[in-house]
Amino acid sequence: MSSNISNFIETIANNYGIDKNSVIYKYIERKTRASEKGSKARRSLGNLYALYVLAQDYINENFEGSSFTELMQRIKALPFGSKLQNHPLDNRLNDEIKRQYNVIPI
Protein backbone atom coordinates (compact mmCIF):
# COMPACT_ATOMS: atom_id res chain seq x y z
CA MET A 1 0.00 0.00 0.00
CA SER A 2 1.20 3.47 -0.78
CA SER A 3 2.81 5.17 2.18
CA ASN A 4 0.63 8.26 1.54
CA ILE A 5 -2.60 6.30 1.85
CA SER A 6 -1.25 4.27 4.74
CA ASN A 7 -0.18 7.46 6.56
CA PHE A 8 -3.55 9.06 5.84
CA ILE A 9 -5.46 6.12 7.31
CA GLU A 10 -3.14 5.93 10.31
CA THR A 11 -3.53 9.66 11.01
CA ILE A 12 -7.31 9.43 10.94
CA ALA A 13 -7.26 6.34 13.14
CA ASN A 14 -5.06 8.12 15.67
CA ASN A 15 -7.30 11.22 15.63
CA TYR A 16 -10.38 9.15 16.39
CA GLY A 17 -8.76 6.65 18.75
CA ILE A 18 -9.32 3.68 16.44
CA ASP A 19 -7.27 0.65 17.40
CA LYS A 20 -5.09 -0.57 14.53
CA ASN A 21 -6.02 -4.15 15.43
CA SER A 22 -9.75 -3.45 15.12
CA VAL A 23 -11.85 -4.94 12.34
CA ILE A 24 -12.80 -1.51 11.00
CA TYR A 25 -9.16 -0.40 10.70
CA LYS A 26 -8.08 -3.62 9.02
CA TYR A 27 -11.05 -3.49 6.64
CA ILE A 28 -10.45 0.12 5.59
CA GLU A 29 -6.72 -0.49 5.18
CA ARG A 30 -7.36 -3.52 2.96
CA LYS A 31 -10.07 -1.85 0.87
CA THR A 32 -8.02 1.27 0.15
CA ARG A 33 -5.31 -0.78 -1.51
CA ALA A 34 -7.60 -0.74 -4.58
CA SER A 35 -6.92 2.97 -5.05
CA GLU A 36 -3.51 2.13 -6.49
CA LYS A 37 -4.77 -0.48 -8.93
CA GLY A 38 -6.74 -0.38 -12.15
CA SER A 39 -10.34 0.72 -12.55
CA LYS A 40 -11.68 -2.85 -12.13
CA ALA A 41 -10.15 -3.06 -8.65
CA ARG A 42 -11.69 0.26 -7.63
CA ARG A 43 -15.17 -1.21 -7.54
CA SER A 44 -14.21 -2.54 -4.12
CA LEU A 45 -14.20 1.06 -2.95
CA GLY A 46 -18.02 0.99 -3.16
CA ASN A 47 -18.19 -0.75 0.20
CA LEU A 48 -16.26 2.16 1.71
CA TYR A 49 -18.96 4.51 0.47
CA ALA A 50 -21.61 2.35 2.16
CA LEU A 51 -19.56 2.23 5.35
CA TYR A 52 -19.15 6.01 5.23
CA VAL A 53 -22.87 6.82 5.02
CA LEU A 54 -23.63 4.27 7.76
CA ALA A 55 -20.93 5.82 9.96
CA GLN A 56 -22.46 9.26 9.32
CA ASP A 57 -25.78 7.98 10.63
CA TYR A 58 -24.07 6.60 13.73
CA ILE A 59 -22.19 9.86 14.38
CA ASN A 60 -25.43 11.81 13.91
CA GLU A 61 -27.13 9.42 16.37
CA ASN A 62 -29.58 8.12 13.79
CA PHE A 63 -30.14 4.79 15.50
CA GLU A 64 -33.62 4.32 14.03
CA GLY A 65 -32.18 3.42 10.64
CA SER A 66 -32.36 4.96 7.19
CA SER A 67 -34.14 3.91 4.07
CA PHE A 68 -32.19 2.20 1.34
CA THR A 69 -33.17 5.00 -1.06
CA GLU A 70 -31.86 7.71 1.27
CA LEU A 71 -28.55 5.92 1.81
CA MET A 72 -28.13 5.36 -1.93
CA GLN A 73 -28.84 9.04 -2.65
CA ARG A 74 -26.20 10.05 -0.13
CA ILE A 75 -23.67 7.67 -1.69
CA LYS A 76 -24.38 9.03 -5.17
CA ALA A 77 -23.94 12.61 -3.87
CA LEU A 78 -20.38 11.86 -2.75
CA PRO A 79 -17.43 12.49 -5.08
CA PHE A 80 -17.37 9.73 -7.73
CA GLY A 81 -20.40 8.14 -6.06
CA SER A 82 -22.66 8.73 -9.04
CA LYS A 83 -21.08 5.75 -10.82
CA LEU A 84 -21.77 3.32 -7.98
CA GLN A 85 -24.57 0.83 -8.11
CA ASN A 86 -26.63 -0.48 -5.21
CA HIS A 87 -24.45 -3.54 -4.55
CA PRO A 88 -22.55 -2.18 -1.52
CA LEU A 89 -25.84 -1.60 0.29
CA ASP A 90 -27.38 -4.87 -0.88
CA ASN A 91 -25.87 -6.77 2.04
CA ARG A 92 -22.49 -7.06 0.29
CA LEU A 93 -20.74 -5.07 3.00
CA ASN A 94 -22.24 -7.24 5.76
CA ASP A 95 -21.43 -10.48 3.92
CA GLU A 96 -17.86 -9.47 3.26
CA ILE A 97 -17.12 -8.47 6.85
CA LYS A 98 -18.78 -11.60 8.20
CA ARG A 99 -16.88 -13.84 5.77
CA GLN A 100 -13.43 -12.23 6.12
CA TYR A 101 -13.38 -11.34 9.80
CA ASN A 102 -15.85 -13.82 11.27
CA VAL A 103 -17.64 -11.13 13.26
CA ILE A 104 -21.25 -9.98 13.48
CA PRO A 105 -21.90 -7.72 10.49
CA ILE A 106 -22.51 -4.00 10.65
32 part of a folded domain: yes
- Average pLDDT on 26-32 reads 85
88 lies in some domain: yes
Q: pLDDT tens, 83-92?
A: 888 888 877 7
Residue 84 is which amino acid? L
Residue 60 lies in a domain: yes
DSSP state letters, 12-64? HHHHHT--TTSHHHHHHHHHGGGGGS-TTGGGGGHHHHHHHHHHHHHHTT-TT
| Residue-wise pLDDT tens digits, 52-61 | 898 888 889 9
Residue that wins the pLDDT comparison between 67 and 92: 67
**Residue 79, domain member (yes or no):** yes
* Within a domain: 16: yes
Q: How far, in Å, CA of 10 to CA of 17, rounded?
A: 10
pLDDT over 80 (residue 26): yes
In a domain, 18, yes or no: yes
Each residue's pLDDT tens digit, 31-43: 887 666 666 665 6
**106, pLDDT greater than 60:** no
Q: Give which of 43, 16, 27, 32 is closest to 106, Cα–Cα.
A: 27
14 located within any domain: yes
Domain that holds residue 17: 3-101
What is the number of structural domains in the chain? Answer: 1
Task: Evaluate whether residue 106 is within a structural domain.
Answer: no
Phi, psi of 35, deg, nearest 5: -65, -20
